[in-house]
Amino acid sequence: MSEVLHGSCLCGRIAYDVYDPESMIGCHCTRCQRWTGGSSSTTLVVEPKNLKVTKGQDLVRTFNEAGFAGRSFCGHCGSGLYVIGQDKLYVCAGTLKDVTKTMGCHIQVAFKAPWDEIGGTAPQFGEWPS
Go through 1-35 and write b for each residue having 16 or more CB atoms within 10 A of its CB, e for each that does not. Answer: eeeebebbbeeebbbbebeebeebbbbbbebbbeb
The answer to whether the beta carbons of residues 61 and 75 sit under 8 Å apart is yes
The chain-wide mean pLDDT, for the chain, equals 95
Quick: pLDDT tens for 74-108: 999 999 999 999 899 999 999 999 999 999 999 99
What domains can you pick out in the chain, each with its CATH number?
A: 4-111 (2.170.150.70)
